[in-house]
Chains A and B, each alone.
Chain A
Amino acid sequence: MLERRLSVTETRNRLPALVGEIAEGKGEVVITTRNEPKAVIVDYEAFLRHRRLRMQGARHVVVELVADAQALLQATQESCRGAGEPDLYLFLVSLEELLRDIWEAAEEISPAHASIASELLDATRLYLAGEDRLRPEQLPALAEALTLLTRDELTMVEAVATDRRLLSHGINPMFPVQGDLVSLYEEKEPEPA
């Protein structure tokens, strides 16, 4: 692929011609500041192709990582069947690591994927911080939400419903606030213009 490097000033001066050339398939332009590459102008078809590939890659990553997380969940559920109070700390550490990567990939897929992954990650962080305590009976609800992430299409309506389902199982990914927030709402004062 033909690649030209132009400074911001050169790009600005030649922009109308450059747009035509790039659209005709005459390569892409790397824009530099102080000789450092900073941005690229590519033709729109190439951009869409790149975005499609990135999304496919992200889907592939999510499917693989969710499979790892499900295996971890299943092993944990089985170990919870024994007597006594299970220690879920090590499980949560591993799950958090997976969910961080799942969330990053989910951001490439859709806002609904990203929202569900983000909530699962936040919930796990709350458990690790000791704000909440994860109970073995909540594991199937986590597994169900994880499975949703492997779907190609997800809507925000489904993300809203997933949040409600998690809440109904006592899984609340919203961070609690320390300090007296409520008293700051009790008296109103004019908002700035």
Chain B
Amino acid sequence: MSAAPHIFLDTTIQIERVTATRARQAEIAQALAGARVISSTYVLGEYLRTLAQDALVLHNLALRSEQLYDVETQIAHLLNKRSASRCLLLWASLHRLGVYEKPKLLRTLRVYIEYGLVNRFMLGADELLDTTACGLARERPAPLGEVYRLRTQCTRPVKECDLAERLAEHQSEMRVLADGLKDHPEPALARMSTLCALILEDPDVARGRNCTWYLGDLIIALELPVDAALYTTNRRHFEPLCALLGKQMYKPRT
């Protein structure tokens, strides 16, 4: 009898298994059936500062809008293009079932923000790795009066995770990535190469904005256990990373 395969869920697949159409959610659940499902606190931190943060922004905009159509206007005026697109998709999903009462929409968003999203992240997970001891993963949306606040950014001078120590333990892999991704046509990967070289000199460079903005995929690829396969929708970034690190990508049967 063969052991259950180990599958590591990254942030994109976590978001997809929570928000995608029911058919796609069923497809992911089917792919995970019988596997040992792993994720990490770093992935949870990313999930919170992306999906949970967008739900929170939407809640706060809806709260301060007198009319529901003002929410779309505020999204257009206040958010950058990508955030606006995400919030509009979430907003449309709430309306699709014909829910137009503002108090009900706000309550639904509160359920998502306060526990719904985190409960779904954890659903079916057998193990949550804590390799980086990410401080942002310990944050939860906190009510401030009627609105919510969530800390989504850490700073390098305030040490609240073990990221630098972990990366310092991966010097050989970091060197491989610094060399292997140099001049990569994908700008995000080329930037990772530059950062790897800097982190080899000073691991603390990894913390703060570099971690949350530029190193996410690299951190996930490094914390991915050797006996686990990475399940992601972002193959463009992870395929080169995993190839260089000799790690596996999960390819669900279609």
Which residues of A are in contact with B by a Cβ distance under 8 Å?
Answer: 103, 107, 111, 114-115, 118-119, 121-122, 125-126, 128-129, 131-132, 156, 159-160, 163-164, 167, 172-179, 181-192
Contacts and interface: CB of A to CB of B under 8 A. Distances in A.
Contact of A176 (B20, B78, B79): B20
B114 A181 contact: no
B243 interface: no
Contacts of A176: 19-22, 25, 93
Contacts of B237: 186
A181 B86 contact: yes
Contacts of B250: none
Contacts of A118: 104, 107-108, 111
B92 interface: yes
A185 B12 contact: yes
B15 A181 contact: yes
A129 B99 CA distance: 12
| Cβ-closest 9 pairs across A and B | A160-B115, A177-B19, A177-B93, A118-B107, A175-B93, A125-B97, A184-B86, A179-B89, A185-B50
A110 B37 CA distance: 36
B82 A178 contact: no
A129 B103 CA distance: 21
B32 to A, nearest CB: 15
Nearest to B117: A174
B107 A114 contact: yes
A173 B83 CA distance: 24
Given A118-B108, A167-B119, A186-B12, A175 B96 contact: yes
Interface of B: 11-12, 15-16, 18-22, 25, 50-51, 78-83, 85-86, 89-90, 92-94, 96-99, 103-104, 107-108, 110-112, 114-116, 119-120, 123, 188, 213-214, 233-234, 236-237
B236 to A, nearest CB: 8
Contacts of A107: 103, 107
A178 B81 CA distance: 18
Nearest to A174: B116
B22 A178 contact: no
Contacts of A156: 114-115
Contacts of A192: 78-80
B82 A174 contact: no
A149 B233 CA distance: 40
Contacts of B108: 118, 122, 175
B254 to A, nearest CB: 17
User: Could you tell me the dominant secondary structure of chain B's interface residues?
Assistant: helix
Nearest to A179: B89
B115 A132 contact: no
Nearest to A180: B89
Contact of A181 (B25, B90, B99): B90
Given A118-B111, A175-B93, A132 B22 contact: yes
Contacts of A114: 107
Contact of B115 (A163, A185, A187): A163
A164 B123 CA distance: 8
Given A118-B107, A174-B112, 5 more contacts: A122-B108, A125-B97, A125-B99, A177-B90, A178-B92
Contacts of A173: 111, 116
Given A182-B12, A185-B11, A177 B103 contact: no
Nearest to A121: B104
B83 A191 contact: yes
A47 to B, nearest CB: 19
A174 to B, nearest CB: 6
B80 A191 contact: yes
B208 to A, nearest CB: 14
Contacts of A167: 119-120, 123
A178 B97 CA distance: 12
A187 B114 CA distance: 26
B202 to A, nearest CB: 23
B97 A129 contact: yes
B120 to A, nearest CB: 7
